[in-house]
Structure 1
Amino acid sequence: MNPLFDPRHIRRAFSRSARSYDAAAALQHEVEARLLESLDYLDDPKLALPPPQCILDLGAGPGRASAAMRKRWPKARVVAVDMALPMLREAGKRSGFWRPFDRVCADVRALPFAEGSVDVLFSSLCLQWVEDLPAAFAGFRRVLKPNGLLLVSTFGPDTLFELRESFAQADAAPHVSPFATIAQFGDALVHAGFRNPVLDRDEHETRYADLPALMRELRAIGATNALQSRRHTLTGRARFAAAARAYDTFRHADGRLPATWEVITAMAWAPGPGAPIREGGFDVTSVPIASIPVRRRP
């Protein structure tokens, strides 16, 4: 089966957008800020949880969330992970001398971290680029400590539906990714063995003067068409004009064009030690060696 996304295209797009991302990513910053607020749960005095020692920020981009978590827990090791090296260079500007965080260039689908080494795994608006969610979540669970926290957000299928429908009237090639539903997201979490998942869905709307303004913003944040089945030539003036006319039917009374963003957030916990991890359809049990009783011969 051919892969849905082109990872090299994703890496190139986010590498090119590293310097323009922060200025254009107002919605992404808002979603990230709300996800960071969910970390207040860990500081609830009623739970009496110890502060995290190791935190991963997956798809960290320019490192805003990494810096915020390093400030929140100054004694924790915070690791910003991104597949685009230029993004990590931008993140380095936020990794101060007094409260630095680590930076690792890696793909979230193959995390280069030891099993059971992470207390909190945080990822804001990265997983929409991952087609095999169960496999990704299995990898997340592998690196999380027993009872570690997973806190993630992604885009849902209603995201940019106006753009999808408009280009569908002008071009047979796909232009917008088929995002996973909240049910698929929850199923993938359960399949990977996460417990007590809590999922939320919210809709945001941004507005633009015209279709070119929306497309410029998408390029500035690296959100270009990364589907393997995308058209590999320029869209062309005639097709773009036809899409613009179709998009114009969504125009609001204020004269601006809307773009809908469906945001799915999820909080879940890694299970206790000894619970099996599903890999390739099979349960693989991991048991800490310290929990295995040893019988000594007299």
Structure 2
Amino acid sequence: MDVITRSIPECHGNRPVNTQIKQRIAENFSRAAHSYDNAAVLQKRVAARTMLGLPAQLEKKNAPNQIQRVIDLGAGTGLHSLTLADRYSDAMITGMDLAMGMLEFARQNAPDHPRLSWCSGDIESVPFQSNSIDLIYSSLAIQWCGFEQVLSEVGRVLKPGCSFVFSTLAEGSLQELNTAWCLAGERDRVNRFDRFEAQKQTVARSELIRQAFSLKAETLYYPDVITLLRSLKALGVNTVLAGKHGLVTRRRLDALKHAYEPLRQPEGLPLTYQVIYGVLQKPF
């Protein structure tokens, strides 16, 4: 497995975050590697929609815009890296992730793929040379990072005229869970995300050209609170960046169940994600 390590910057959105939290995120995702794909209903749905923004591969080889080097930022189990390899049959694909457990799982699932490699690294400090990459793809990964720093790094490593195709989360994600926790007397149990307009402004301040940038709500439904919380844990997304909390005791869990139940819909308990879909281009 190709492994490159870099330092971990201390930022998230516009708010500072210490390196210990980044390490905790990596550890949670590493532990979730074997359960992730089975639980990743939303992630697969969003990834499929994100891929609608991918550029076409040119039939003519050695054309100026031929896609030859692709990075999957936050590759996780490598499922979408494999899809990218199938789509771009002449390209070298690198799946990059901070979680070593995810990378090891990905490597085991595709041990002999001739055009796939795996790289350990932080999205805020991408371990690739400037002007060296033809396409960068990322689905539901950069919300753990500082968006401004991500765009700076993407702009650095992309070749002129090449694209960054991604999805991330905006304010309002996990709103039902946050509301229920607050009603149960618990605050800062759910991660906060920057507003859609604020992220749009961050793009405008970057060197990248906005080709597409839209917001779409995606809602999942669960039969009960326990299933919902177990799903978040199976995905490794149960790390809360703000505040310090003890364990979820029986008393706290009962309070959460009581607060969440009035939100129930015919399909079950809702959990909504506000998903941003973007396509940005580096100027020629």
Q: TM-score range by the shorter chain?
A: 0.7 to 0.9
Distance 1:98 1:237, change over 3 A: closer
* Larger CA Rg, structure 1 vs 2: 1
Matched, 1:3 2:28: no
1:20 CA displacement: 0.4
Matches within 5 A, 1:43-192: 43=57, 50-95=65-110, 97-130=112-145, 132-192=146-206
| 1:267 counterpart = 2:282 | no
Equivalent residue in structure 2 for 1:18, among 13, 18, 33: 33
Q: How far apart, CA to CA, are the structure 2 residues paired with 1:161 and 1:170?
A: 14
**Does the aligned pair in 2 maintain the 1:160–1:176 contact within 8 Å?**
yes
Q: Where does residue 263 of structure 2 map in the other structure?
A: 250
Distance 1:126 1:253 in 2: 31
Q: Which deviates more, 12-21 or 183-192? A: 183-192
Q: CA deviation at 1:70?
A: 1.1
Q: 2:260 aligns to what SS in structure 1?
A: helix
Identity among equivalent pairs (%): 29
User: 1:65 aligns to what SS in structure 2?
Assistant: helix
1:43-99 CA-partner distances (Å, limit 9, x unpaired): 488xx8732111110000011111111112222111000001110112113435354
Q: Partners in 2 of 1:4 and 1:209 — Cα distance?
A: 34
- Mean Cα displacement is larger for which, 165-174 or 109-118? 165-174
Structure 1 unmatched runs, 5+: 273-298
Q: Is residue 27 of structure 1 aligned with residue 39 of structure 2?
A: no
Letter aligned with residue 195 of structure 2: T
Indicate the SS of the match to 2:230.
Answer: helix
Compare 89-98 and 113-122 and name the one that shifted more. 89-98
SS at match of 2:191: coil
SS of alignment partner, residue 34 of structure 2: coil
Cα displacement string for residues 138-186 of structure 1 (whole angstroms, at most 9, x for unaligned residues)? 0111111111101110112121100001101223431111112221222
SS at match of 1:93: helix
Report if aligned partners of 2:191, 2:242 keep a CA contact under 8 Å in 1.
no
Residue 6 of structure 2: aligned partner: none
Please say if residues 156 and 262 of structure 1, whose CA atoms lie closer than 8 Å, have aligned partners that are also in contact. yes
Residues matched between the structures, number: 266
Contact 1:54 1:77 survives alignment (8 Å)? yes
Q: Is there any run of 5+ residues in structure 2 with no aligned partner, and where?
A: 1-10
1:175-211 CA distance string (max 9 Å, x none): 1111122212221222121113311111111111111
User: Contact 2:203/2:210 (CA < 8 Å) preserved in 1?
Assistant: no
Aligned to 2:248: 235
1:243-267: per-residue Cα shift (whole Å, max 9, x none)?
Answer: 111100101135x211111111100
Q: Deviations over 1:81-136 (max 9, x none)?
A: 00011101121134353543010011101111101111111000001111x21112
> Does the aligned pair in 1 maintain the 2:58–2:66 contact within 8 Å?
no
The TM-score with structure 1 as length reference comes to 0.84
* Distance in structure 2 (CA, Å) of the matches to 1:129 and 1:12: 14
